């Protein structure tokens, strides 16, 4: 089972990802990264955290649908803690795209 971390879980697409991953074979959500509390209920077995290191260590792969500034924070930490990333965030700056290449 692939443990998925959802970055940007409180957004519109993040919520859809959480729903879709409930029925995906061989994948399950293990953690979500949030700056503030979620405004919806989530399976209590899923780690909800604002700590990037805890978030990254609790998953095998990260799916990101956040804002460019938040994505930059994720990319900076992922350089230090390599993790497969699926980035769906749009509007990245040149600097953020360069971080993505690293």
For the segment 22-71, what is each residue's pLDDT rounded down to a tens digit?
Answer: 888 899 999 999 887 777 888 999 999 999 999 999 999 999 999 999 99
Q: What is the pLDDT of residue 38?
A: 79
CATH number of the domain encompassing residue 57: 3.40.50.720
Q: How many domains does the chain have?
A: 1
Confidence (pLDDT) at 39:
77
Range of the domain at 70: 2-101
HEC readout, the chain: CEEEEEECCCCHHHHHHHHHHCCCCCEEEEEEECCCCCCCCCCCCCEEECCHHHHHHCCCEEEECCCHHHHHHHHHHHHHCCCCEEECCCCCCHHHHHHHHC
């Amino acid at each position: 089972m692939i443990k998925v971390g959802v970055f940007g879980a409180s957004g519109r697409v993040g919520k859809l990802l959480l729903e879709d991953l409930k029925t995906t074979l061989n994948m399950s959500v293990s953690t979500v990264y949030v700056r503030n509390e979620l405004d919806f209920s989530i399976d209590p077995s899923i780690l909800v955290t604002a700590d990037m290191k805890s978030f990254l260590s609790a998953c095998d792969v990260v799916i990101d649908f956040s804002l460019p500034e938040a994505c930059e924070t994720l990319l900076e930490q992922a350089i230090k803690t390599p993790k497969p990333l699926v980035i769906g965030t749009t509007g990245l700056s040149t600097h953020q795209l360069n971080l993505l290449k690293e």
